[in-house]
Amino acid sequence: MSYPADYKYTKEHEWISVDGANGTVGITDYAQNSLGDIVFVDLPKVGAELKAGEIFGSVESVKAVSDLYSPVTGTVTEVNEALKNAPETINADANATWMLKVEISDSAALDGLLSAGDYEKFVSEETGH
């Protein structure tokens, strides 16, 4: 699996792409692969306040329901409405399928996130591969 080098990653398997004070959030290819066929995504509304490390929604697959954790603190500025009718888009291309966009209010959390290389190492340690 490949992980875009310009993204930052959480140990809960979310990614964030940062552009100035704005971030775009999704789940990693490893996460979607572990979940299997995604059938539903529960996301916050625009304007919701997120806190780094706290749950902001969930992803439901045929196997399980998994919580989604915010990589940063900030305000939701956009939600990927297309996922309501086509959650399987995440399975097709997790690295390119965003869930929400956030205006980052505290960029300090970014310092605690993993680089692509560190995330790949974390996943291999977690899975033993």
In the chain, how many domains are there? 1
Q: Report the C-alpha gap between 84 and 49 in whole angstroms.
A: 21
The side-by-side arrangement of strands in the sheet containing 7-9 is 7-9, 14-19, 22-27, 100-106, 73-79, 49-50
Decide if 118 is inside a domain.
Answer: no
pLDDT tens digits in sequence order for the chain, 129 residues long: 789 999 999 999 999 999 999 999 999 999 999 999 999 999 999 999 999 999 999 999 998 999 999 999 999 999 999 999 999 999 999 999 999 999 999 999 999 999 999 999 999 998 886
Q: Where in the sequence is the domain holding 95, given as residue range(s)?
A: 7-106
Edge-first strand order for the sheet with 38-42 is: 38-42, 55-61, 65-69
1 lies in some domain: no
Sign for the CA dihedral angle at 128, 13, 89, 57 comes to positive
Q: Is the dihedral of CA 70, 73, 86, 8 positive or negative?
A: negative
Task: Work out whether the CA dihedral 115, 120, 121, 127 comes out positive or negative.
Answer: positive
pTM listed for this prediction: 0.95
On whether residue 117 sits in a domain, the answer given is no
Query: Is residue 2 in some structural domain?
Result: no
- Does residue 111 form part of some domain? no
Residue 20 lies inside a defined structural domain of this protein? yes
